[in-house]
Structure 1
Amino acid sequence: MVAIGLGLLAVSGLYNVAATRPHFRPVDHLIKFALRRSISLHSLGVLLPDLTDPALAQLGREHFATGCAPCHSQPGHARHPIARGMLPSPPRLEGAASRWETRELFWIVRHGLKFTGMPAWTGRDRDDEVWAVVAYLQRMPHDDDTVPAREKRTPALGFGIDEPSPLARCAACHGDGRRRPVHASVPVLHGQKEGYLARALSEYHDGRRQSGIMEPLAAVLSAEDIGRIARHFAEADRPAAVARPGDARVARGRRIFREGVPRQELPACRSCHAPETSAQFPLLDGLSGHYVEAQLGLFRSGVRSGTTHGRIMSVIAERLSPEQIADIAAFLDSGGERAPVPAEARREGE
């Protein structure tokens, strides 16, 4: 009988679905109960990584400001009128870490929620980006209730006149020449090849390269914007190499980078990734080992195989063992080709 009654109610159209009318209290309680039970069940298999790195939370803060704050706002900011008019209204998230388990927060950000306006993360296979946001939510400061609401800045919904320029948005994560990137998983752009930067932005723009952050940002860029941004960073000075003490891993990584591994049909990294090679192949010197290791993992798993250049790198990455990838990362972290070559390495090359 209950099912028949609900069916008749739906057919009649009497239930008001307008966002100006809240649900009946029993309906509201039922929806929230079902939502919590669903999230709790479906997030059970989530494995938690280490989220203690403060830089990871800082990266998550930049992600949050771009993709979450327009609806959820952030500490010190007022709610946007459009967000207040939604039903359900997007909640403020200062206390999200106390209301949800860490695995549940990841599941919500990763998959979104039906019938709430909460979208799934754009980069479907970029869990690393989602975890950065979760790390920030765990450390998110509480809103300062002593600041009058009229004095709190209202966030913009998109690239409005109040929004930072595209170059300012780039600098927030990638650094500005004085500051290095906010986290080791973010690449240095200064001094990178113009052709590669333009290609990367175009791939994000067209949805051929996954990123829940870069895809939305690049989607609003015109071809002229992409060219201007690529030129700006290509003409900027590359950051100085930070040489670190080497070890056996660095020596092995140096050999792979310079000579390849013929028995595995692995070409030398620098045969493509050098200043004198095609502008479509990025420079690796100056990039963190963490970033290169993560990108090789994405190539190996097929996440970055959606383009011609991506398919080329996927073949190479599959031939590399995890240990060899770690060796290349160690070499780049030691300063790469711009770092002084130890005497024993020079003797090996004679």
Structure 2
Amino acid sequence: MLIRITWRRAILTLLVLAAGALLFAWSGIFNIAASGGHWAITNWVLHGVMRNSVRTHSLLVEAPPPLDDIALKARGAGHYASGCAPCHGAPGEPQNPIIQRSTPHPPDFSESLDDWTPKELFRIVQHGVRYTGMPAWIVPERRDEVWAMVAFLEALRDMEPEEYRRLAYGAEAPRQPPGSSAGIGGLGTPPAEVLADCARCHNRDGQGRDGAAFPVIAGQNEAYLLQALRAFADGSRHSGIMQPPAARAGDEALRALAAHYAAQPRQPVPQSFDPALLAEGERIARQGMPENQVPACLSCHGAEALARNPSWPRLDGQHAPYLEGQLALWREGLRGGGPYHRIMQTVASRLTPEQAHAVSAWFASQGGGE
């Protein structure tokens, strides 16, 4: 018997199939339980689609910075321990058994890391993976933070447990029980000791570690520190690394943290610069650039100005790369936070990268404030 296929019959067939699919979905017969897992062919298809998508979209990612930079790796490690290890594990710290019951199962980096290129890792970290538990970066525009995570992941492939603990916890490693970073509690609950959470990266003395990985916050104005922490917590100052710990700490703890670090003695970081560079930076800091409507930096960041308004930050003795990086974020409109952020965004936009480099070097070279 020969059945003729007509447009009417084709459309009717499609409508019947669509109605059947809707009825199947409405019935609740399909088992969505994570305990059931995926069929092998489903895993194969989904993983293939994901890899192809990442490979294609990563073609648009810019060339990575030097990924062997210890500062980049340290910044990535600090976030990885609290934000990633609970799902992916870490060297010497296997995945939590609860995570192993999820579908799809997150890869266990305590055992191996798939052969992704740096650009592909960047794409995954920045945007996450749909239909899995892999989230996008909180502030996808902060490409510098995403590259820090990629630098750490690249190093993670051959990392020994001792080096992981040093990078992830710094001086707090002896106080951190082995395996605790992979605990499921790290996903949402505040740490028992908030200071220990901050000290993993900033140290208890506020001097930071691993070169210019973290800013010097010792001796910073208490009002400014509290303002910055609150801005991180509510997301008005944009950082995928700082927002989670600040948000989970609570305002009372943020007040205590600001008071603690403001009370620490400030020790300028040893740095050397070309005298001509310092002279140019001092000129901008003291005189500004009237031709570009840039005020003298010291009109807000000098000792007299800071005494009038402690909500402005101290810049003397800070890491030059940190100051330069912050000016770049201002210039690109990516920093935010605080009541004066639009002023700084305007000022930074009127400085060339060379001028920002010079003035950052000059402030870094100052030991006792101006």
State the TM bucket, normalised to the shorter chain.
0.7 to 0.9
The structure 2 residue matched to 1:288, chosen from 280, 299, 319, is: 319
Structure showing greater Rg: 2
Please name the residue that 1:80 is paired with.
Answer: 96
TM-score in terms of structure 2 length: 0.82
Does the 8 Å CA contact 2:286/2:298 hold for their aligned counterparts?
yes
Q: Within the alignment, does 1:172 sit opposite 2:206 as a pair?
A: no
- Whether the 8 Å contact between 1:296 and 1:317 is mirrored in structure 2 is yes
SS in 2 for 1:191: coil
Greater shift in the superposed pair: 12-21 or 193-202: 12-21
Q: Distance in 2 between matches of 1:177 and 1:324?
A: 31
Work out which of the residue numbers 341, 351, 356 in structure 2 matches 1:310. 341
**Alignment check: 8 A CA contact 2:301 2:313 kept:** yes
Matched, 1:61 2:91: no
For residues 131-164 of structure 1, the C-alpha deviation after alignment (integer angstroms, 9 at most, x for no partner) is 11111111114677xxxxxx97352332789946
Match of 2:179 among 132, 137, 153: 153
Q: State the partner residue of 1:139.
A: 155
Structure 1 range deviating more: 321-330 or 1-10: 1-10
Residues 72 and 148 in structure 2, CA contact (< 8 A), matched pair in contact too: yes
Q: Note the C-alpha offset of 1:81.
A: 2.6
Q: Distance in 2 between matches of 1:52 and 1:79?
A: 26
Map Cα deviations across residues 14-45 of structure 1 (whole Å, 9 max, x no partner): 43221010112222211111111111111111
Task: Give me the whole-angstrom Cα distance separating, in 1, the residues matched to 2:148 and 2:119.
Answer: 13
- TM-score when normalising by structure 1: 0.86
Which ranges of structure 2 fall in alignment gaps of 5 or more residues? 1-12, 162-176
| Worse overlay, 155-164 or 36-45 | 155-164
Aligned position for 2:174 = none
Shift in Å, 1:172: 1.7
Describe the SS at the equivalent of 2:291.
Answer: helix
What is the match of residue 336 of structure 1? 366
> Across the two proteins, how many residue pairs are aligned to each other?
333
Q: Given the alignment of the two structures, is residue 17 of structure 1 paired with residue 32 of structure 2, yes or no?
A: yes
Change beyond 3 A, Cα 1:194–1:167: same
Say whether the 8 Å CA contact 2:284–2:297 is kept in structure 1: yes
1:231 aligned to 2:259?
A: yes
Deviations 1:295-327 (A, max 9, x none): 111111111246531111101111111111011
Would the alpha carbon gap of residues 6 and 20 (structure 1) be closer, same or farther in structure 2, given more than 3 Å must change?
farther
Q: Read off the aligned partner of 1:65 and give its amino acid letter.
A: A
* TM-fit CA distance, 1:330: 2.2
Distance in 2 of aligned mates of 1:89 and 1:241: 44
Q: After the TM superposition, which residues 82-121 of structure 1 pair with which residues of structure 2 at under 5 Å, given as runs?
A: 82-94=98-110, 98-121=114-137
- Structure 1 position 292, deviation (Å): 0.9
Which residue is 1:29 aligned to?
A: 44
Cα distance in 2, alignment partners of residues 23 and 159 from structure 1:
25
Q: Residue 81 of structure 1: SS of its match in structure 2?
A: coil
State the shift of 1:50 in Å. Answer: 1.6
Q: Is the 8 A contact 2:107 2:113 kept in 1?
A: no
Relative to structure 1, is the Cα distance of residues 290 and 6 closer, same or farther in structure 2, using a 3 angstrom cutoff? farther
Give the letter aligned to residue 32 of structure 1.
H
Is 1:266 matched with 2:294?
A: yes
CA distance in 2, matches of 1:89, 1:3: 36
Q: 1:17 to 1:66 in 2, by over 3 A?
A: same
Partner amino acid, structure 2, of 1:74:
A
Partner of 1:346: none
- CA–CA separation in structure 2 for the residues paired with 1:179 and 1:197: 14
2-structure distance, mates of 1:208, 1:161: 22
Structure 1: gaps (5+ residues): 145-150, 342-350
Whole-Å separation in 1 of the counterparts to 2:331 and 2:117: 31
Find the counterpart in structure 2 of residue 126 from structure 1.
142
More helix by share: 2
Q: Which amino acid aligns with 1:228?
A: A
Indicate conservation of the 8 Å contact 1:297/1:317, yes or no: yes
| CA offsets 1:214-242 (integer angstroms, 9 cap, x no match) | 11111112221111100001111001452
Q: 2:233 aligns with which of 195, 202, 205?
A: 205
CA offset digits 1:192-215 (Å, max 9, x no partner): 000000000111111111111111
Q: How far apart in 2 are the matches of 1:143 and 1:332? A: 38
Instruction: Give the distance between the partners of 2:278 and 2:270, measured in 1 at CA.
Output: 14
The 1-side partners of 2:105 and 2:112 are apart by 15
The answer to whether the 8 A contact 1:198-1:230 is kept is yes
1:49-85 C-alpha deviation (Å, 9 max, x unpaired)? 2212133212211121121011111111132132112
Q: What's 2:167 paired with? A: none
Residues 4 and 133 (structure 1), Cα distance of their counterparts in 2 relative to 1, 3 Å cut: farther
- The C-alpha deviation readout for 1:272-315, integer Å capped at 9, x for no partner, is 11333211110001211111111111111111246531111101
Per-residue deviation, 1:97: 5.4
- Could you tell me whether the CA contact under 8 Å between 2:238 and 2:337 is conserved in 1? no
Distance in structure 1 (CA, Å) of the matches to 2:53 and 2:328: 31
User: What amino acid does structure 2 have at the position aligned with 1:92?
Assistant: D
Report the RMSD for the aligned CA atoms in angstroms: 2.8
Between the aligned partners of 2:303 and 2:295, the Cα distance in structure 1 is: 17
Please state whether the residue corresponding to 2:357 is helix, strand or coil: helix
Query: Percent of counterpart pairs with the same letter?
Result: 38
Moved more, 80-89 or 191-200: 80-89
